[in-house]
Structure 1
């Protein structure tokens, strides 16, 4: 018999207490950033809304040594590791994050307000909120998201290999998408959906055996068992498919973060928006770092975790410099007063 143990429930720091870092987002990037900070003996609190992007997936793929691990299990293990070094992980939603008055030495300060009224005070922030996938508004499509409807050939491709796959075009990026999924199946249909497709591209598709359907799409049809049955066109025809691939519009999650005034960047072709980040996830706002899909919309779990670790290390280095500045200022004041 398998015995499961409930996770501990971490409490917020005492009112008025200032921690070294608050991590907003408890996915791979946020937890790995918190792990690096906690292992450096920094007081760190992770605020996790419990709504990871990859929740519908059965397993994480392309992650060396952990391929196929269920997302929930990976995150549970990550939370255990953060707690092992004294970090806290609290469940909640951030409704506001703003800069507060800095310390006497100019060290940044932030206030993070949670739904329900709790608040956190921190010297540094790591924004690791992830992203939100926006699907085309095709009736019947959303119900299959994460199962019969996929977006990433590296995350899901092996699992749908040799199936009849349809690519639902959303723009120029879908051409590249189709070529990647063609590597996985000999039976690929490209539903152009009114997007531009020049003759050279059509010739390249034909050479690879990719069939193009130009008519408008009316809906995605389902089987009695709940899987994808095919794509129904507005002219009444239905093209049988088992799997559909679609490039989503990816938007960095920014709920509650407007007060930080973090700069953002748009992807070409309207494919999404992410937070602008520099070296190791640094931002134009002193004391704030960004990591994972919030800064890199195409990053898989491994890349997001690595970005979080790098950001956490740089945050610790920044804190160490600030600690030294404060100690030096105190020593100088003591010398003057002696």
Structure 2
């Protein structure tokens, strides 16, 4: 990390798996960098992931983060608690406004920036059960843990094309007993969508949730329109809110949902501004985010002393 007032080679915004992997690569490239971590990574919600190849027994999100931090610690202290509340681009640098946990603010200058700020799941509106996804009562990633739910009674909370797609994915991959709960939203189906639901035997319940039954720290039953439905597992398919405001404010290209569009080096359309992890359009998986991080960090290392196209002599 650079001394106070110096220009960093790179500022990493976000302390989840993608941000910490970016930091590890830059540390081993002997670059000057810092990680700003607000302390709320989405990965910490994961009870157990079986999609990290070297952990056959599975590993929790909190353990992934702890191990990544321990690994990074051997290269020095580089993590700054707080939040980047603003980001400006100058010809040869970015200026980030950092607000720390005591609400003090200061500026950090860096030649390059990696945004690894991730996304937040839209929580289902369930009676008397706030933050059900964050608390692990409702799951959010059938790619990560659908295999452990195979052949069980599964409910998918969602509506529209995304909800239908998630229900079909689970039904064709893991279970033939899938119900789509729309939480009171009317589901407008075209013939193709109806055909997909019928093909996989997916039931649709449009009634709002009236109450829930809890059993051993899990949702065991859902009451809709006076009828009780019992499920083994509930998944949310309500989508994500991408933490991409800093990039969008600088004019970075993004899709309608707010996820960022990057090139083959994980660089956004704002030169010198990179993105890694869930904030990038594509598959939301930890190993994918780590791959983004490796690609971005290596490109930054190879081009750190070179001007961007916004600078004199840049290309």
**TM-score range with shorter-chain normalisation?**
0.7 to 0.9
- 1:121 is aligned to 109
Query: Relative to structure 1, is the Cα distance of residues 199 and 98 closer, same or farther in structure 2, using a 3 angstrom cutoff?
Result: closer
Stretches of structure 1 that go unaligned for 5 or more consecutive residues are: 1-11, 267-271, 329-338
Check the 8 A contact 2:14/2:116 in 1, yes or no. yes
Aligned CA distance change for structure 1 residues 40 and 200 (closer, same or farther; 3 Å): closer
Alignment RMSD: 2.7
Q: TM-score, normalised by structure 1?
A: 0.79
**1:187 partnered with 2:177:** yes
| Kept in 2: contact 1:25–1:46 (CA 8 A) | yes
- Look at both structures and tell me which one has the larger radius of gyration over its CA atoms: 1
Tell me the CA shift for residue 312 of structure 1: 0.7
Q: How does 1:271-290 map to 2 (within 5 A)?
A: 272-290=257-275
Corresponding residue number in structure 2 for 1:315: 300
The aligned runs of 1:101-120 (5 Å cut-off) are 102=91, 107-115=92-100, 116-120=104-108
1:218 aligned residue (209, 212, 234): 209
Q: Secondary structure at the match of 1:173?
A: helix
Pick closer, same or farther for the CA change 1:196–1:226 going to 2, 3 Å.
same
Q: Is 1:55 aligned to residue 40 of structure 2?
A: no
Deviation at 1:184? Answer: 2.1
Name which of 226, 245, 266 aligns with 1:236. Answer: 226
What is aligned with 2:138?
149
Alpha-carbon displacement from aligned partner over 1:63-103 (angstroms, at most 9, x marks no partner): 11135122222222222333333461222111222124x4x
Q: Is the 8 A contact 2:93 2:109 kept in 1?
A: no
TM-aligned CA distance change 1:82 to 1:320, over 3 Å: farther
1:260-299 to structure 2, matched below 5 A, reads 260-266=250-256, 272-296=257-281, 298-299=283-284
For 1:196, the equivalent position in structure 2 comes to 188
Q: What's the TM-score, normalizing by structure 2?
A: 0.84
Q: Residues of 1 paired with 2:254 and 2:211: CA distance?
A: 34
**Equivalent pair of 2:95/2:107 in contact (CA under 8 Å):** no
**Is 1:88 aligned to 2:82, yes or no?**
no
How far did 1:259 drift? Answer: 5.2
1:11-30 to structure 2, matched below 5 A, reads 13-30=2-19
Q: Provide the C-alpha distance between the structure 1 equivalents of 2:94 and 2:218, rounded to a whole number of angstroms.
A: 50
Give the total of aligned pairs: 302
Equivalent-residue separation in structure 1 for 2:281 and 2:201 (angstroms): 33
String of CA shifts for 1:35-88, please: whole Å, max 9, x gaps: 222211111111111111122221233111135122222222222333333461
Distance 1:188 1:307, change over 3 A: same
Q: Is the 8 A contact 2:120 2:242 kept in 1?
A: yes
